[in-house]
Amino acid sequence: MSVHEFQRVTEIIDSYGADSTVTLAILQDIQAEYGYLPRQALVHTAERLRVPLGEVYRMATFFRAFSLEPRGEFTIKVCLGTACHVRGAVPILEQFERDLQIKAGETTPDRRFTLEIVMCLGACALGPVVVVNEDTHGDMNPDKARQLVATLSAAALSQPTAEVALEQAPALMGQTAPAC
């Protein structure tokens, strides 16, 4: 981490008064800033809060919302819950794995995509369901999965931010993204 990045971690910690009782909130903000929890940020947090590094690591590894590895700009979550599974979620997952050339739980080397499996997204009526960051795509199939990757890849290259690409993805695919 550069000096500037340590400064940003310090700013986050200071925004909470360097209070160790809000370590969870501090870690959430650090992850929001970097997309994951860099090791150096955890060490700096422990030192700044004057708590054992093991305590910070326990928190960072206990909660599934945290990642110690860099994540992609687009996180694709494929639901494999019962309703989605019986409606064909496994071939959708396999299509994403082929197109992205990674397995579930991995991030592409360019850090554009992270592929995850979830057991329920709470949108069973829309199944099979895929969520890209916060954007829900229902009634998914392998062809739509392939098209989604292509659309996100193209939009990301031509747009300044992931949020813009996500906003355009449903329209470019000829569908609307239902809200949960």
Per-residue pLDDT of the chain (180 residues; tens, 9 = 90+): 566 667 999 999 999 999 999 999 999 999 999 889 999 999 999 999 999 999 999 999 998 889 999 889 999 999 999 999 999 999 999 999 999 999 999 999 999 999 999 999 999 999 999 999 989 999 999 999 999 999 999 876 765 544 444 454 444 444 444 443
pLDDT at 6: 76
pLDDT at 162: 47
> Cα 119 vs. chain centroid, distance in angstroms?
16
pLDDT at 159: 59
Maximum Cα interatomic distance, the chain, rounded to a whole number of Å? 53
pLDDT at 171: 47
User: Which tokens is 168 given?
Assistant: 């355009």
pLDDT at 46: 97
pLDDT at 54: 96
- Alpha carbon of 168 to those of 4, 25, 134, 135: distances in Å? 33, 31, 13, 11
